[in-house]
Structures are given as structure tokens and as C-alpha cells.
Chains A and B, each alone.
Chain A
Amino acid sequence: MNKYTERLYNGIIKENPTFVLMLGMCPTLAVTSSAINGLGMGLSTMVVLVCANLLISLFRKVIPNGVRMPAYIVIVASLVTVVDFLMQAYLQSLSAALGVYIPLIVVNCIILGRAESYASKNPPLPSIFDGIGMGLGFTIGLTLIGLIREFLGAGTLFDVPVLAQFGWFTPITIFIMAPGAFLVLAFLVAGMNIVRKRMEAKGKPLAKPAGCLSGDCASCGHSALCSGKAVAGEKQAADAAGN
């Protein structure tokens, strides 16, 4: 696997922003009431992410370390404005459905996270692939949640009637409301944790959730995901190395 396909694999599976890193939860829960909304949100985030990664990687030696965050925000905000205007011009209904969540891509933690942890340290081409991988991971996550919520909550898939064509079916409307987002996300993350265990058994561990960087399970919101095992193992290894 060369380093470009490795970046794609990393973004889609190993560090999937939705199901593994648990980043960008706000749009994930808020706009995924239908598959098309999830796909639209994912793709527009991906466009911004790829361009932002490229620009930040190009300017990585120019941007002073002390003001890097404002600089990233300016770059991301400019790109988001472009995307927002393009969507208002050519994809009006989608733009209306996504509403404030398009401007809010500016503060999406996936974009700032990738800028900080990858694009600012790596050359432009790998950064682009990192953006594509992460963007695809986010898009797949959101589309999947949107598909399930739309299927159960409206009986359609991409507005094509599936369950809705049966007379006995009543849409389970709770799934296109807020509680449904939490329920579907919880089940998908639970499914991802099964995958995580299988991968660990195979010796190809997935990334730890973002919060785990603290190393302190007591104050960590994600400790339920890893049951503290990852950190405990890491500490033991560190202790052993220290000794």
C-alpha cells in the first residue's frame, strides 16, 4: 500500500471521523434526517476539507506558529463562503435543507483537526489524499446514518419509496426526529466497535477515539468505548519502557 492509498484507508476505515474518532458530531446528528442531506453535507465538507488541506499544506512554512489557528480559520472560512454561495446558486433545495450547517463547516472539528495534525506537517499531495480519505469517511458515515433514518422514518431511500409502497407501513417518524439520530448513531458505533475488536484481534488496530489522548479515563467522555483498556495497556508499556 503506497502512502496515498494508505491515506484513503486511514480516512475511511482506520480513523473514520464519524464512527472511530467521533468528530463533527453536530452536523452528524442534525442534518442526517435523509440520505440526500447526509450525502450533501458530507460532500460539501469534503470539498472544503480537500481545498483547505491543500492551501494549508502549501502555506505551512509561511504561517507563523503563534497565529496558525486564526490563519486556518481564515482559509477555511473563505472556502466555506465559496461553497455556500455555489450551493445557494445551483443546489437551492439542498442548501435550504442543510441551512446553517453549511456556514458552520468553518468550525467543523474534522477540518481544523486535519489542518492541525496533518496538513500543517506534510507536503501538498499527501494532504490532498488525506482530505479525500477523511472527507469520504465523513460522507460515508453521514450517508449511512441518513439512509437508515430515512428508511425507517419515511420508508424511502433517496426519496424512492421502498417500505412506503406497502399499505401496512406507517413511517416510524421518531427516526427522522432528534432521538432517532442518537439511536441510529449509537447502533452504528456499537457495530463499529465489533469491527474494532476484530481488527485488533487481527493485529490491525483502529485509531483510538479523539478524547482518549488525555490518557485519563475518569474524566474522558469516551471511556465507555475503550473501557480504559487501551490507555491502561499503553501506560503499562510506557512504564515498562521507562523502567
Chain B
Amino acid sequence: MSDLYHVSSSPHVRSKDSTSRIMLYVILALLPASFFGIYNFGFRALLIMLITIAGCVASEWIFEKIVHKKSTISDLSAVVTGLLLALNLPVSLPWWEALLGSVFAIIIVKMLFGGLGQNFMNPALGARCFLLIAFAADMTNFNCDAYTGATPLALIRENNGAIPADLNVMDMLTGRTAGTIGETCVIAILLGAIILILLGVIDLKIPASYIITFSIFILIFGASPFDTTYLVAELCGGGLMLGAFFMATDYVTSPITPKGQIVYGICCGLLTGLFRCFGANAEGVSFAIILSNLLVPLIEKFTVPRAFGLVKEAKKNE
């Protein structure tokens, strides 16, 4: 009986979801791509992952020690940042550059802005872009034991939009190509994405609007317009799938309003298409997503849903 009369302040209905549980789901969903990365690129891929994860967790712990804050490493968000960063790095990157990237992700992009929930851009992508500008040569060097030469996207770009003879779109789907550790195998990434969607961690609004916008842009403005093989190659190549499902959907740096999420996805798609078709590099997903991250406060401001029962000003005047 006493339970029945127990009065506490709201909320009275609690969800089992917690930050650490959602982060655990994301890690679970990243496992297929991670395992494939290790299988494809060898033991060094595992080493890079361990370095970035350890770097992220350690820098979060040390920062919070220094500023006398409660440690938040148990919410696993630093582990997700570290793993995502590793999946975005080429396997041949020197270890200290990977470590520097993880320190940059946690200290500068995340903790200096107030920690999880306050960061204005995705920490893993912020660090990737930092490394891309800082170590341009190392970050675009995809030579390793398994593969030599450029990524499929770079090859297609060199070939003026035609698929080179030795490049097989099926290989791009199964990930047997050069690239960063986690971006090559589209099947593994989609498997992870299905896990996330089934567990209810993400919904399709952002990835779908992102990929559809990008496809339309590529079909019209791409190097070979209205060529479906080229479109599939552009969709499977580079970090598009990884970015659309795992990084554009980051809770902190994507809009919370449903309409805003679609606008944000369209922004990501347009910018990615713009960078890939007209930019200096073959790849543009990471810059597109962090630029869209910066637009999020503006998008949210203009897409606030109408509160239930609220009548529009114009109607009232009639």
C-alpha cells in the first residue's frame, strides 16, 4: 500500500535508456565494421583502434581530474569517439598522430566546450578534419600490406568519372578496397545501421534525407550524370555510409526537431555532393558533416514544432 501512495516529483515514467546503454548499442553496431577493418587491414588496424580508444578515455579522465569534475568516462561516450575516430583513419597512420587526434577530439572539441551534450561538432569528425589538415600526406596515404594506391573515389575522379577497368563495384560493397579502417565495407556498416535502427537508437530521417539528397545531387552534377554504376560507386566509396548512419546521427550535434533533422540531412547531402564534385579532394563527408553540425542551432531555431493547441497568429486575426 505504501508504494501506491509514494509521491515523487516528475518524471513518473522512466525509460531504461541511459547514456551508457545507448553508447553500448552504438559500440555493438560498430563491431561488424571494426572486425572487418581488422580482418581486411591486419593487426595494425586493431592497434590504431586501441590507441585512439585509450587516448580518448585517458584524456577525458585526466581533464576531469585537472578541473576537479566528476569523472564521466563510465558513460562510454569517449570509447565511441575513439572507435569512430579509428574507423576514420588510414591504417598506415603513425601511432602518435592517432593519439594526438584522440586528445584533440576529447580535450578541444568536447571537454573545453563543456563535455558530452555541449560539444558543437562531432568530436571524432572534428579530430579527423584536424588530422586531415595537419598531416595531409599521412592521412591520404592508403598504402598498406593489403592494398597499394588510391581509394576508389580518387581513382574514379582521376578517370573523369568513368569506373576504371580494375575497379569492381562489388569489391566496394564488400570492402575489398583501399580506404580508412572502417569505411570500406558497406555491408558491415549497413549491418550496424540495421542494429541501431532495430534497437531504436537512430531513426531513418537523417540518413535517408542525407543519402537521397546526395544521390540526386550526384545524378545531376556528378562527373558522369545519370549513370547508375557511377552513383553506386559514389554511394559505396568513401565515408558516406559510415558518416550518414553513425556520425551525422550523433545525438548531441544533430537537430532534435523532426523537421530540422530532415533539413540537416539535406544540408549534409548537398555539402557532401558539392565537396566531392567541385572540391579539391575526392572525399568530403567529414567536412560536410561538421559544417552541418555548425548549422544545427540555426536549423533548430527555425523548425520548432507548433505546440499542441497553439493557434497561428495569422488565423487569430481573421
Contact = CB atoms under 8 A, between A and B. Distances in A.
A183 B133 contact: no
Given A168-B94, A183-B108, A174 B130 contact: yes
B134 A174 contact: yes
Chain A, interface size category, equals under 10
Interface in B60-119: 94, 96-97, 100, 108
A184 to B, nearest CB: 12
A168 B100 CA distance: 14
Interface SS majority for chain A: helix
Interface residues of B, number: 12
Interface string A189-220: 00000000000000000000000000000000
A170 B133 contact: no
Interface in B219-266: none
A179 B108 contact: no
B96 A172 contact: no
B136 to A, nearest CB: 7
A172 B100 contact: yes
Given A168-B96, A170-B94, A177 B108 contact: no
A172 B135 contact: yes
A215 B317 CA distance: 43
Interface in A149-187: 168, 170, 172-175, 177, 179, 183
B68 to A, nearest CB: 14
> Which residue, of A172, A179, A183, has the highest number of chain B Cβ atoms within 10 A?
A172
B134 A173 contact: yes
Contact of B138 (A170, A175, A177, A179): A170
5 contacts: A168-B94, A170-B97, A170-B135, A173-B134, A173-B136
Interface of A: 168, 170, 172-175, 177, 179, 183
Closest 6 CB pairs of A and B: A174-B134, A174-B133, A172-B134, A170-B135, A173-B134, A170-B138
Given A168-B94, A172-B134, A174-B133, 17 more contacts: A168-B96, A170-B94, A170-B97, A170-B135, A170-B137, A170-B138, A172-B100, A172-B135, A173-B133, A173-B134, A173-B135, A173-B136, A174-B130, A174-B134, A175-B134, A177-B133, A183-B108
